[in-house]
Amino acid sequence: AQKVTQAQTEISVVEKEDVTLDCVYETRDTTYYLFWYKQPPSGELVFLIRRNSFDEQNEISGRYSWNFQKSTSSFNFTITASQVVDSAVYFCALSEFGNAGNMLTFGGGTRLMVKP
């Protein structure tokens, strides 16, 4: 069975601070995908990144970066120089490749509040 844990339920930072959101996952599959989604107050889910289990390269996209460590089953997300617009709930999710339809299992989410 797959499981995703986001231990931080809420994080509050001041604008321009860097912040890391943790994500730890459990799966028995050797082939799987990891995702991060952003959910602003309006409710829609915004896709941020997908990483497959064979690609442990870290990725950087603007102020966002992701650190995938298979050895610790973690897929952490860092926002550099945070901005007020980054305030949202962020979800980490896992999809096992062999899962019918590739259903997603979401972590509990981390609410990020960036204060001016």
**Three-state SS letters, the chain:** CCEEECCCCEEEEECCCCEEECCEEECCCCCEEEEEEEECCCCCCEEEEEEECCCCCCEEECCEEEEEEHHHCEEEEEECCCCHHHCEEEEEEEEECCCHHHCCEECCCEEEEEEC
Selected range binding another protein among 18-26, 53-61, 76-84, 107-115, rule: CB under 8 A: 107-115
Binder among 75, 76, 94, 107 for another protein (CB under 8 A) = 107
Instruction: Tell me whether residue 7 or residue 80 sits nearer to another protein (CB atom).
Output: 7
Q: Which of 19, 23, 25, 35 binds another protein (CB under 8 A)?
A: 35
Q: Residues 66 to 95: which contact another protein by CB under 8 A?
A: 91
The yes or no reply on residue 54 touching another protein (CB under 8 A) is no
Between 62 and 101, whose beta carbon lies closer to another protein? 101
Q: State which of residues 82, 109, 112, 114 lies at the interface with another protein (CB under 8 A).
A: 109
Joined together, the tokens standing for residue 81 give 């120089």
